[in-house]
Amino acid sequence: MDGTKKQEDIDSSKDIRKTKQDRANAKRKFNRKIIGFQDMVESKSLFMAIKAKFEDVIDAFRQVECCNDFVTTAINETGPHHLIDKMLDECDDYMMEIETSMDKVRTTFAARTRDENVKLSEIHVKPLNSPHFSGNIRQYASFKQDFNRLMTKQYGQDPYALRQCLSGEALDTIKGIEDNYSEMFKRLDAKYGEPRKLIDAIVFDIQKLKPVPEGDSRKFINMVDVIERNWLELQRLGMQQEMNNTTMVTMIEKLLPRTQQREWVTKMDNQGNTSKIGDSTFQALLSYLLQEKRVMEYMENDVRQTSNVSRRQVNQTINSAEANSSDQTTTNDATENDMKKIYNQIQNMAERMEDIFKGNTGSNNAGKRGTGVTQMKHIERRACWIHKTDSHPINECNVFLNSNHEEKLRLLRQNGACFNC
């Protein structure tokens, strides 16, 4: 009895030892896969290769888990009762070590995946050009803003960086102090940053505008664009009140066509603001001009589309007419040839009748010939009878025009001209 029990304990210990050996082999494979994975990450291999190696590590981890399950099963079934709990705790500690290694692999792969996604989502944007200023006072405020936001952040108060952004009149302004950043900006501010100079430039820009003729939509749109641009520029600098005055409102009103002037005055009269010209009046005027501009732009676009349609229709008609005329070319050519033949026959007959008439009425010629029969001869018809050419008609021939009255009559009779015409 004791021998049988001893033999069973030996067999059970063999089963447990066998499963532990299988688990140890799976762990060694798992460790090899981890080492290969880490080498690929450190060498920055292709992401697809790293992903394939990560999947190999997961397979090896699952094999270790499976072998550990076999060990715990063998312990529960055949292990010594007084050692089962201790052996199971050892299995749990074993797997905790394996899972810790696996968690590190997962973290590394997640970071590598995130870097790859960022790389794929990156948009290659062309580097921004540095701001540039050449001396236009209207552009100085925006130039200074852009320079402080873009260049100062990267280069600090570097005189060379500021000098590279200037050209023309602005570059000439800082001559002699090219190495002093603060003095350079002081001189630029004194020349281009004075608010009164900017306001004068804006007012002059509006004064250059000419009254818009009635019905000239393009000039009206251009006028509104200039006014709005100046207003927005002053508003950005916090000086919009410089346009909110009676002088500016009156100046703009004089530029309007008669129709818009009448509508604007009627609108203000209905609102009862004609005696309260000020801030609200300019705002109302600008809103009215922008509304009129939108209407004219819509109408201009509609007219262009209509004209394009009409042009296409005309082209289609012309093409159709050309096609019809090409179909009738043969018929027209035949008819024209027939008409030429008939005309030539009539012309020849008229010339012969003229010769007969001159033969019958010319007694001297009849006596000389001794016969009443006049020989009929063919007279070649040309536009100019004198020069025998078609390059100019007889009524424009200088020789004929400079002849006397008797010579002209002789030429007319000789060449069979029609006196009734």
What are the boundaries of each domain within the chain? 2-119, 137-193, 202-300, 343-414
Q: Could you give the CA distance from residue 145 to residue 85 in angstroms, rounded to a whole number?
A: 75
Q: Could you give the CA distance from residue 323 to residue 325 in angstroms, rounded to a whole number?
A: 5
pLDDT band at residue 345 using 50, 70 and 90 as cut-offs = low
Q: Could you give the CA distance from residue 307 to residue 189 in angstroms, rounded to a whole number?
A: 52
Rounded mean pLDDT of the chain? Answer: 76
- pLDDT score, position 377: 43
Q: Which amino acid is at 244?
A: N
Q: Could you give the CA distance from residue 85 to residue 92 in angstroms, rounded to a whole number?
A: 11
Q: In whole angstroms, how large is the CA radius of gyration of the chain? A: 54
pLDDT band at residue 374 using 50, 70 and 90 as cut-offs = very low
pLDDT band at residue 366 using 50, 70 and 90 as cut-offs = very low
Q: Quick check: 325 pLDDT over 70? A: no
Structure tokens given for 221? 């749109």
Residue-wise pLDDT for 302-323, tens only, equals: 555 555 555 555 556 555 555 5
- pLDDT score, position 35: 92
Q: Quick check: 11 pLDDT over 70? A: no
Residue 4 or residue 131, greater confidence: 131
Please, what sign has the CA dihedral across residues 361, 364, 370, 375? negative
- pLDDT score, position 298: 83
Q: Quick check: 330 pLDDT over 70? A: no
Q: Could you give the CA distance from residue 282 to residue 249 in angstroms, rounded to a whole number?
A: 6
Contact status, residue 236 vs residue 315, Cβ threshold 8 Å: no
Instruction: Spell out a b/e string for 365-387, using b for 16 or more CB atoms within 10 Å of the CB, else e.
Output: eeeeeeeeebeeeebeeeebbee
Poorest-confidence range of 15-24, 330-339, 377-386?
330-339
Instruction: Kindly state the percentage of the chain with pLDDT values over 70.
Output: 73
Instruction: Read off the pLDDT of each residue in 202-207 and give the average, rounded to a whole number.
Output: 80
Residue 253 or residue 25, greater confidence: 25
Q: Could you give the CA distance from residue 375 to residue 356 in angstroms, rounded to a whole number?
A: 8
Most confident of 57-71, 147-161, 191-205: 57-71
Structure tokens given for 294? 């939108």
Contact partners, residue 352, CB within 8 Å, separation at least 6: 376
Contact status, residue 98 vs residue 63, Cβ threshold 8 Å: no
- pLDDT score, position 107: 93
Secondary structure of the chain in the HEC alphabet? CHHHHHHHHHHHHHHHHHHHHHHHHHHHHHHHHHHHHHHHHHCCCCHHHHHHHHHHHHHHHHHHHHHHHHHHHHHHHHCCCCCHHHHHHHHHHHHHHHHHHHHHHHHHHHHHHHHHHHHHHCCCCCCCCCCCECCCHHHHHHHHHHHHHHHHHHHCCCHHHHHHCECHHHHHHCCCCCCCHHHHHHHHHHHHCCHHHHHHHHHHHHHCCCCCCCCCHHHHHHHHHHHHHHHHHHHHCCCHHHCCCHHHHHHHHHHCCHHHHHHHHHHHHHHCCCCCCCHHHHHHHHHHHHHHHHHHHHHHHHHHHHHHHHHHHHHHHHHHHHHHHHHCHHHHHHHHHHHHHHHHHHHHHHHHHHHHHHHHHCHHHHHHHCCCCCCCCCCCCCCECCCCECCCCHHHCHHHHCCCHHHHHHHHHHCCCCCCC
Q: Quick check: 421 pLDDT over 70? A: no
Contact status, residue 369 vs residue 362, Cβ threshold 8 Å: no
Instruction: Kindly state the percentage of the chain with pLDDT values over 90.
Output: 10
pLDDT band at residue 226 using 50, 70 and 90 as cut-offs = confident
Residue 342 or residue 105, greater confidence: 105
Q: Could you give the CA distance from residue 256 to residue 224 in angstroms, rounded to a whole number?
A: 10
pLDDT band at residue 57 using 50, 70 and 90 as cut-offs = very high
Contact partners, residue 239, CB within 8 Å, separation at least 6: 195, 198, 199
- pLDDT score, position 77: 83
Poorest-confidence range of 185-194, 254-263, 320-329, 365-374?
365-374
- pLDDT score, position 59: 93
> pTM above 0.95?
no
Instruction: Read off the pLDDT of each residue in 6-32 and give the average, rounded to a whole number.
Output: 78
- pLDDT score, position 360: 47
- pLDDT score, position 371: 39
Residue-wise pLDDT for 243-286, tens only, equals: 777 888 888 888 888 888 888 888 888 876 544 444 578 888 88
- pLDDT score, position 381: 64
Residue-wise pLDDT for 402-414, tens only, equals: 888 778 888 877 7
Distance of CA 344 to the CA centre of its chain: 66
Contact status, residue 282 vs residue 243, Cβ threshold 8 Å: yes
Contact status, residue 385 vs residue 392, Cβ threshold 8 Å: no
- pLDDT score, position 205: 80
- pLDDT score, position 110: 92
Residue-wise pLDDT for 379-390, tens only, equals: 456 778 778 788
- pLDDT score, position 367: 42
Poorest-confidence range of 102-116, 165-179, 278-292?
278-292
Work out the end-to-end distance of the chain between its first and last CA atoms, rounded to an integer number of angstroms: 161
Contact status, residue 378 vs residue 348, Cβ threshold 8 Å: yes
- pLDDT score, position 393: 84
Contact status, residue 348 vs residue 416, Cβ threshold 8 Å: no
- pLDDT score, position 124: 60
Q: Quick check: 373 pLDDT over 60? A: no
